[in-house]
Amino acid sequence: MARKRFDLIVFDWDGTLMDSTSTIVRCIQAAAKDLGLPVPDNKAASYVIGLGLQDAMQAALPNLDPKYYPRMVERYRYHYLSKDKGLELFDGVREMLADLSQQGYFLAVATGKSRVGLNRALDASQLLSVFDATRCADETFSKPHPAMLQELTRELGQDLLRTVMIGDTTHDLQMAINAGAAGIAVHYGAHPSDELKALNPIFAADSVAELHAWLGENA
């Protein structure tokens, strides 16, 4: 049997495993509205998905008085926590993760969520035991800094050259480039396919089923 191409497969969470993009956009917009601030349009709000919360609010609403950003984070969390119980994994995610785990891959998550937020999501989706390691934006540098991937590979004793990062945003793919890892794009999340293509991922999937099939044959 041929040796696998990768040993460690790292997934983004929102917009890659969890169908949460539209909810996050609405919560960012609601937070701005609560504070009487300009409400970012859908494109601006979706572009910041994947960043740490403080960085995301600064990117969605640049040039504000800095005092507003912690308040934006607070209001965003208020809205998101009222809706996150209703979020679901994309179809096929659970089966894909189970299959990859059974094949012996190390599995990890690198996300812009907070540790509390990711743990809530993992618990709600009953995936706490599936991943070998996880990193959140409030524990280290936010994407696209390479720290998350560097730390995950060190923790699991893996090689970045045999690691692939899978995500729906340019932040994910740029992080992979910055870390020296491979990158795979998914086209069903937050960022437009042409922007993802510009970062030369080794593959781009239009669905979880397509991603699962490619990983089964090529990873």
Q: Which residues participate in catalysis according to the annotation?
A: 12, 14
DSSP letter at 14 equals B
Could you give the angle at the alpha carbon of 214 between the alpha carbons of 211 and 219, nearest 5°? 110
Q: In the block, which residue shows the tokens 């926590």?
A: 81
Q: How many whole angstroms separate alpha carbon 150 and alpha carbon 176?
A: 10
Neighbouring C-alpha atoms within 13 Å toward the C-beta of 137: 24
Q: How many whole angstroms separate alpha carbon 216 and alpha carbon 67?
A: 48
DSSP letter at 35 equals T
